[in-house]
């Protein structure tokens, strides 16, 4: 097992219009045995970062260390990392056994040891019955296991996963996700896992590293990103359904909502004094609908209140999503108990406790003040 450190790592690709900067100023310390997830929208530099760690992509600047050793100029095969890709790239002409054994044969491991290792890994991944088959005779999920098995069998210091579940159907994806987490708990090997799926990231990672345009936006435990997003991008990316955003402008020491109504945070942070236009943001589960039982948060107790019309109601069993259209043209999703009486077309008044409301400056980088 090993720690992985990236120090001011950057990567630019040459292009006709000058260089494309895929990753910039990337700093990250990954603990020995940690499960870190790089998450962000397509094109934000996740794969590039992973390939630089694997040594498959030369870095343009900075330093990468694995287990304390600088690996900038170390060949991929000598980095003691194993990578699992989105397209499993199994050897089609080889049996599952030979696919698993391949890397060990190349390392000239004795036959009996190879046998023992392959069988151990096959048991662990529930593919012991498939060892004689070829990849074309496997289901997507089975192929995916073989690909993971090929990485595990080498007992590397670091696992690198690049969207390994994206080719599986939804149900299998959830199942395999749980298995990967259990596998990490069992093996304790450092994992760096890439996904664009925020839910996969939240459920798997001990730590998330949220990227955008090649730059780290926020890094921390999943619940920290969920409860304390550092900017609008982080707020909008993590969570499903996503954070609600309402436009507001400053007026007489209060925020006046474009959708009507005012809100005052109490006590009001003085740093907000300079802001004129902001977005007030809050999670769907923090919206309460009047008339749904419980005590609705009251405006004079620091809550944010607004009214609108219910457009769509989506029952989800435990909860339901109520979509509300506001007079400003904005919309809000409330995630409420299934006993809610909200029905399409009916007017509704909603409230959010003041401390659940985030304020984002909607100018420039959208950084939170
Ligand atoms: N070989 C390449 N040549 C030129 N540009 C590339 C190359 N690989 C990736 N890029 C660019 O780098 C950026 C990051 O890509 P990538 O790391 O694949 O993102 P992600 O995995 O997050 O979707 C994208 O803008 C992509 O177009
Ligand atoms: Mg990618």
Ligand 1: which residue has its CA nearest to atom 8?
A: 48
Give the global pTM. Answer: 0.91
166 and 205 both lie in a single domain? yes
Atom of ligand 1 nearest to the CA of 211: 22
Q: Which domain holds residue 37?
A: 4-229
216 and 251 both lie in a single domain? no
41 and 78 both lie in a single domain? yes
Q: Is 45 in the pocket of ligand 1 (CB under 6 A)?
A: yes
283 and 310 both lie in a single domain? yes
The verdict on residue 357 lying in a domain is yes
296 band by pLDDT with thresholds 50, 70 and 90: low
215 and 249 both lie in a single domain? no
Residue 14 Cα, ligand 2 centroid: separation in angstroms? 18
Give percent above pLDDT 70 in the chain.
92
The arithmetic mean of pLDDT across residues 259-271, rounded, is: 73
The arithmetic mean of pLDDT across residues 161-174, rounded, is: 88
Q: Is 11 exposed, middle or buried (0-12, 13-18, 19+ CB in 10 A)?
A: buried
207 and 251 both lie in a single domain? no
Q: Is 20 in the pocket of ligand 1 (CB under 6 A)?
A: yes
Ligand 1: which residue has its CA nearest to atom 24?
A: 43
Residue 294's pLDDT is 52
Lowest mean pLDDT among 130-139, 275-284, 295-304, 340-349: 295-304
CB 156 within 8 A of CB 187: no
| Segment 120-131, tens digit of pLDDT | 999 988 899 999
Picking from 165, 198, 229, the residue at the C-terminal end of a domain is 229
210 and 257 both lie in a single domain? no
271 and 207 both lie in a single domain? no
Supply the CATH number for residue 267's domain.
2.40.50.140
Tally of structural domains, the chain: 2
Residue of 9, 10, 13, 193 to mutate, ligand 1, most atoms within 8 A of C-beta: 13
Residue 293's pLDDT is 57
Residue 291's pLDDT is 77
276 and 357 both lie in a single domain? yes
Token pair of 255 as six digits: 């925020």
Residue 1's pLDDT is 80
The dihedrals phi and psi of 93, each to the nearest 5 degrees, come to: -85, -5
Residue 369's pLDDT is 37
Supply the CATH number for residue 224's domain.
3.40.50.300
Token pair of 260 as six digits: 């009507």
186 and 152 both lie in a single domain? yes
171 band by pLDDT with thresholds 50, 70 and 90: confident
Picking from 199, 229, 259, the residue at the C-terminal end of a domain is 229
Lowest mean pLDDT among 105-114, 165-174, 185-194, 206-215: 165-174
Residue 232's pLDDT is 95
Residue 364's pLDDT is 44
Atom of ligand 1 nearest to the CA of 23: 14
284 and 343 both lie in a single domain? yes
Ligand 1: which residue has its CA nearest to atom 14?
A: 45
Rounded distance, CA 106 to CA 8, Å? Answer: 35
310 and 194 both lie in a single domain? no
Lowest mean pLDDT among 105-119, 255-269, 348-362: 255-269
The verdict on residue 368 lying in a domain is no
Residue 119's pLDDT is 95
Ligand 1: which residue has its CA nearest to atom 12?
A: 22
The verdict on residue 238 lying in a domain is no
Ligand 1: which residue has its CA nearest to atom 11?
A: 22
| Segment 174-212, tens digit of pLDDT | 988 998 999 999 999 999 999 999 999 999 999 999 999
């Amino acid at each position: 097992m090993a720690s992985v450190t990236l120090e001011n790592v950057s990567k630019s690709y040459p292009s006709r219009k000058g260089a494309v900067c895929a990753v910039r100023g990337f700093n990250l310390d990954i603990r020995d045995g940690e499960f870190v997830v790089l998450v962000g929208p397509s094109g934000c530099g996740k794969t590039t970062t992973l390939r630089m760690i694997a040594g498959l992509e030369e870095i343009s600047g900075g330093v990468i260390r694995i287990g304390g050793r600088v690996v900038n100029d170390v060949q991929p095969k000598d980095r003691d990392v194993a990578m699992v890709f989105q397209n499993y790239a199994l050897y089609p002409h080889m049996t599952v056994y030979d696919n698993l054994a391949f890397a060990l044969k190349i390392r000239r491991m004795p036959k009996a040891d190879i046998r023992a290792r392959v069988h151990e890994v096959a048991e662990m991944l529930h593919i012991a019955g498939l060892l004689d088959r070829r990849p074309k005779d496997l289901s997507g999920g089975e192929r995916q296991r073989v690909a993971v098995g090929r990485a595990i069998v080498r007992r590397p210091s670091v696992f690198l996963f690049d969207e390994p579940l994206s080719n599986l159907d939804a149900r299998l994806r959830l199942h395999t996700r749980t298995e990967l987490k259990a596998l990490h708990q069992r093996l304790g090997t450092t994992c760096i896992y890439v996904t664009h799926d925020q839910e996969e990231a939240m459920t798997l990672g001990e730590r998330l590293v949220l990227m955008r345009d090649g730059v780290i936006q926020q890094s921390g435990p999943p619940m920290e990103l969920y409860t304390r997003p550092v900017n609008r991008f982080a707020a909008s990316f993590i969570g499903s359904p996503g954070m609600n955003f309402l436009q507001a402008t400053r007026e007489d020491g209060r925020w006046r909502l474009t959708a009507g109504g005012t809100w005052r945070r109490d006590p009001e942070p003085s740093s907000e004094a300079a802001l004129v236009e902001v977005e007030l943001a809050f999670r769907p589960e923090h919206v309460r609908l009047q008339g749904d039982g419980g005590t609705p948060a009251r405006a004079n107790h620091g809550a944010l209140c607004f009214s609108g019309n219910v457009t769509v109601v989506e029952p989800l069993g435990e909860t339901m999503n109520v979509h509300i259209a506001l007079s400003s043209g904005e919309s809000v999703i409330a995630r409420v108990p299934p006993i809610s009486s909200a029905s399409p077309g009916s007017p509704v008044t909603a409230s959010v406790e003041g401390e659940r409301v985030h304020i984002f400056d909607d100018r420039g980088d959208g950084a939170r003040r």
